[in-house]
Structure 1
Amino acid sequence: YQENGTVCGIHLPEGLQESEKLPEPIYTPSTKAEIGDHDENISFEQSVSHLEKYFPGKGEHYATLIRDYTIALYKKCADYALSRGIIIADTKFEFGLDEDGNVVLGDEMLTPDSSRFWPAQGYEPGHSQPSFDKQFARDWLTAHPGNDWTLPEEIVEKTIDKYLQSYEMLTGTKLQ
């Protein structure tokens, strides 16, 4: 965005600040990466072509359904989370097909592992936000290279505490 005003090829309004809410949610499809690699962001048109390779004659149909389901799910869940004090800044959904060719969710959704959760209290655009997700552990690993991907117990406990805090805020109950 800072370089050309786009995210994944989607033009966004000028002058957005870091962490600022977009006027409308955007859909940014990606391809599934090999284990250990990052997923590759692609355009909607590329997703149509990708799906067309595997499902001839149905690429655009499936891509459109997945886009529409993604945005509808995100909006509904983001509204609910906001009512519980959590901003869902972004998330990913993984879809597949059932035996009848219907698009279905294929993996977890809306967890701190697949989403970026920010506390609504204290939210302020213009800088990075505190979060309830695994970014806390990622930041520690990045700051401590050569640690063989082993987190100290203190970091593990703080990460668990963040996950539990978001769970309790979203559900209104303590995990049993």
Structure 2
Amino acid sequence: SLDEAAAHLEGRINAFARVQAAITRHPSIEINLASIVAEELRAAGGREGDNLTIEGPPLALAPKAAETMGLAIHELATNALKYGALASSSRTGRIDIKWRLEEDMLRFVWAESGVDDLKQTALRGFGFEVLERTLPYELGATVELRFAPSGLNFTAAVPLRAIRAIPEKV
């Protein structure tokens, strides 16, 4: 519906706005991945606790990478709210978000479980495009998106050189 489309667009604009607010406050610093994850989950109504874990080493992202990762995390959180682990129909839904550094890569994992019969059509829209096309195009990421009956699983391997700020040359 038109109202649904407007709400989706507003959510995406707000995701960019949250990252831009952080960049504007401190334009010369990088933005912490944990902060982006927490902000997007908070915006979707998720709170870290019994059904939600966020775990990973401190990792500061360059502004452009923060925008791209923020939008991807927004799409995952929105999907979880509508169809997955954060949906009102999901009594036992859980999301485990973890990242780690492997040599020159960031491995980011979003794993949902406890979802009652997730449908593959859940994310097949702009959110699907962001995850499978925008992350590879903007950040050189390799992504894997799997729909299991108990929840969505998403993994992105992102080159660290694409997400960290490159010092300006004098």
TM-score range, shorter chain: under 0.3
Relative contact order (alpha carbons < 8 A, sep ≥ 6): 1 or 2 greater? 2
Give the TM-score normalised by structure 2: 0.27
- Whose strand proportion is higher, 1 or 2? 2
Which has more radius of gyration?
Answer: 1
